[in-house]
């Protein structure tokens, strides 16, 4: 059925497809001309021609059939069509010269929807065809609605199933390192343990806590990718140093599996225009994937290659390889080669998807190759090189612990206002800062913080954002409104909200520094030292 706009168009905009079947050229021409003013009309001279069209998958919105035709009557055509098409899917109007009661009964029994007796009045024929056309329109709309509803229901069921599978996987992946953390913590709390056991336990706790942080970061980064909000801070970056940093970060995990690792990176002249942190994240994800899927005693080789216009980072492993059927899906989100119920390798299936998005965001690409399961895999990250003169690197916002291995006493005598509503988190901060020699005033809410501010005259504020009554942004605005300027009282935002926009909100509220949870002790102390040095008492 043809509509000028859409299925909700007005009836006067309706132009149905009407087929007129009559062996009389004069009568078929008269009916066709009459109906063509309102409908799209096609004229046939016999029934078999109509059946051929219907068999080919073409059919009208309304079929107007003459009863008496040679070879095959209109009723015979009607009976044949009713074997596969009911009265609502194909309305049929019979034209008859007699129109007696017996004919009416016989025609309805054959499956006709309506009758018009020759010689019919033009208004009558138009009205009856229009009524059947409207019925067909309502039927089509109903079928369309049913189809849309069914598809929506199937999509919702599929989404729910995917959500359930994802949540089950998230729960498994978060509980697994948590099990090691809690188990070792309970063991170490039971009594004295040998120094070697204590070190092994603390190393395990730290390693699994960092794994949880990585899982959470991957989930958050995936939501940013989906919403188009993954932030890049672009600068000219030394790609060789990025690869080395990622290689060094993954080295302990590869050593734990007794993997032979090799980095082939000649020279420091490899530069790209990009975000250093995100590029390191991409390379780290490729290396972590290689470590995960390479059995103990295997080998991983990292190569930094160059061409005239591009740089390539190749990560080559001797691991379990990738099946040919899965290879096209290796960068899909939430997809892993192992089935969820029998998954032998940890992870959410997000790391490689993030690598692909980071590569595309930098104008590059990433490809995976494997000769099959058990034959290793090669991932190649390709980026356009940056040969612009006077290039300078931009410092990473994600300092590594070794950069901040500071001695005790760096904050001696510094008066610090610590605002944190979580008791355990506040106790950890106070312990860290006290060991560094700071003098602490602690608060667990907006009002307590303002009271401490007036009583102790701190030299530095360290405040959580998610406070129970009024948040840290409101607190900092109140602090600045009381005349405590940043030059005299610098402030550090400490928060589990780690998006770029959260950072900007903190700066807009009056904070000068921003630290995302979970904190790295040395990094936090280093930032506090920097904040204290920037202070200019009036």
pLDDT at 479: 95
In whole angstroms, give the CA distance from residue 465 to residue 472: 4
pLDDT at 495: 83
**Count of other CB atoms within 10 angstroms of residue 526:** 17
Residue 162 has pLDDT above 70, yes or no: no
**Count of other CB atoms within 10 angstroms of residue 92:** 26
**Helices first, then strands: H and E counts in the chain:** 14, 19
Token pair 């219907």 is found at: 54
Residue 13 near residue 39, CB atoms below 8 Å:
no
Residue 234 has pLDDT above 70, yes or no: yes
**Count of other CB atoms within 10 angstroms of residue 231:** 14
pTM of the predicted model as reported, rounded to 2 decimal places: 0.50
Least-confidence region, from 56-70, 150-164, 280-294? 150-164
Instruction: Give the confidence band of 468 by pLDDT, cuts at 50, 70, 90.
Output: confident
Least-confidence region, from 72-76, 118-122, 345-349? 345-349
Look up residue 129 and give its two tokens.
């065809």
pLDDT at 1: 52
Residue 399 has pLDDT above 60, yes or no: no
In whole angstroms, give the CA distance from residue 55 to residue 306: 62
pLDDT in tens, 370-395: 988 888 999 999 999 887 654 445 44
Q: Could you tell me which residue, 531 or 230, shows the higher pLDDT?
A: 531
Angle between helices 239-256 and 276-293 (to 10 degrees): 30
Q: Could you tell me which residue, 315 or 207, shows the higher pLDDT?
A: 315
- For the segment 198-203, the average pLDDT, to the nearest whole number, is 87
Please compute, for residue 470, the number of CA atoms within 13 A of its CA located in the half-sphere on the CB side.
12
pLDDT at 416: 95
Q: Give the C-alpha distances (Å, rounded to integers) separating 530 from 439, 441, 510, 513, 520.
A: 17, 20, 17, 10, 16
Least-confidence region, from 34-43, 90-99, 361-370? 90-99
pLDDT at 424: 84
Look up residue 430 and give its two tokens.
């106070």
In whole angstroms, give the CA distance from residue 487 to residue 512: 10
Look up residue 473 and give its two tokens.
């942004």
Look up residue 193 and give its two tokens.
């343990």
Q: Please give the mean pLDDT across all residues of the chain.
A: 83
Residues with Cβ within 8 Å of 258's Cβ and at least 6 positions away in sequence, in order, are 296, 297
In whole angstroms, give the CA distance from residue 42 to residue 20: 6
Where does residue 53 rank: exposed (0-12), middle (13-18), buried (19+ CB within 10 A)?
middle
pLDDT in tens, 409-442: 788 999 999 999 888 888 888 988 998 999 999 9
pLDDT at 315: 95
Residue 10 has pLDDT above 50, yes or no: no
In whole angstroms, give the CA distance from residue 60 to residue 314: 61
pLDDT at 485: 92
Residue 499 near residue 466, CB atoms below 8 Å:
no
Look up residue 229 and give its two tokens.
């909000």
- Across the strands, what pairs with 464? 494
In whole angstroms, give the CA distance from residue 435 to residue 142: 73
pLDDT at 537: 61
In whole angstroms, give the CA distance from residue 87 to residue 112: 7
Is the sign of the CA dihedral 159, 162, 168, 171 positive or negative?
negative
pLDDT in tens, 339-359: 443 344 445 667 888 899 899
In whole angstroms, give the CA distance from residue 163 to residue 160: 5
Least-confidence region, from 293-307, 329-343, 418-432, 467-481? 329-343
Q: Could you tell me which residue, 516 or 58, shows the higher pLDDT?
A: 58
- Across the strands, what pairs with 382? 312, 365
pLDDT in tens, 237-262: 999 999 998 898 888 888 888 999 99
Token pair 């034959």 is found at: 375
Q: Give the C-alpha distances (Å, rounded to integers) separating 31 from 39, 53, 114, 123, 124.
A: 12, 20, 16, 12, 12
């Amino acid at each position: 059925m043809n509509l000028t706009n859409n299925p909700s168009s007005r009836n006067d905009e309706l132009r149905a497809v009407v087929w007129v079947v009559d062996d009389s050229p004069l009568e078929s021409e008269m009916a066709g001309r009459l109906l063509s003013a309102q409908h799209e009309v096609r004229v046939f001279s016999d029934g078999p021609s109509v059946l051929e069209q219907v068999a080919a998958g073409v059919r009208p919105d309304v079929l107007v059939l003459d009863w008496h035709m040679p070879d095959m009557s209109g009723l015979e055509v009607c009976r044949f069509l009713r074997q596969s098409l009911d009265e609502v899917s194909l309305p049929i109007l019979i034209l008859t010269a007699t129109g007696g009661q017996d004919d009416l009964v016989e025609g309805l029994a054959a499956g006709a929807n309506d009758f018009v007796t020759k010689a019919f009045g033009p208004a009558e024929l138009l009205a009856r065809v229009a009524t059947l056309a409207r019925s067909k329109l309502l039927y089509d709309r109903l079928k369309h609605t049913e189809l849309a509803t069914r598809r929506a229901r199937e999509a919702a069921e599929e989404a729910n199933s995917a959500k359930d599978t994802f949540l089950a996987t998230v729960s498994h992946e978060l509980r697994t390192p948590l099990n090691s953390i809690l188990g070792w913590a309970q063991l170490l709390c039971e009594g004295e343990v040998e120094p070697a056991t204590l070190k092994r336990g603390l190393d395990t706790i730290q390693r699994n806590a960092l794994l949880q942080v990585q899982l959470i970061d991957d989930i958050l980064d995936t939501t940013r990718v989906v919403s188009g909000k993954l932030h890049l801070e672009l600068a000219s970056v030394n790609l060789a140093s990025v690869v080395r940093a990622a290689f060094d970060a993954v080295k302990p995990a590869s050593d734990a599996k007794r993997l032979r690792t090799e980095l082939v990176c000649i020279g420091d002249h490899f530069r790209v225009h990009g975000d250093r942190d995100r590029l390191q994240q991409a390379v780290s994800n490729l290396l972590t994937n290689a470590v995960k899927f390479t059995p103990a005693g295997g080998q991983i080789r990292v190569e930094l290659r160059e061409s005239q216009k591009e740089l390539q980072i190749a990560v080559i492993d001797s691991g379990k390889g990738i099946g040919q059927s899965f290879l096209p899906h290796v960068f899909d989100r939430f997809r892993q080669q192992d089935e969820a119920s029998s998954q032998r390798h940890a992870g959410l299936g997000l790391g490689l998807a993030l690598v692909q998005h980071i590569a595309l965001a930098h104008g590059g690409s990433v490809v995976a190759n494997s000769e099959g399961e058990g034959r290793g895999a090669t991932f190649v990250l390709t980026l356009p090189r940056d040969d612009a003169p006077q290039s300078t690197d931009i410092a990473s916002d994600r300092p590594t612990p070794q950069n901040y291995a500071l001695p005790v006493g760096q904050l001696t005598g510094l008066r610090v206002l610590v605002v944190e509503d979580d008791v355990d988190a506040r106790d950890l901060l106070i312990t860290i800062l006290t060991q560094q020699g700071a003098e602490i005033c602690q608060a667990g809410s907006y009002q307590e913080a303002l009271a401490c501010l007036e009583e102790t005259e701190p030299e530095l504020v360290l405040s959580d954002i998610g406070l129970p009554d009024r948040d840290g942004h409101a607190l900092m605005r109140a602090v600045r409104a009381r005349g405590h300027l940043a030059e005299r009282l610098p402030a550090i935002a400490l928060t589990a909200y780690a998006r770029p926009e959260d950072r900007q909100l903190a700066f807009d509220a009056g904070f000068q520094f921003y630290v995302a949870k979970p904190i790295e002790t040395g990094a936090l102390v280093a930032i506090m030292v920097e904040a204290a040095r920037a202070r200019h008492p009036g």
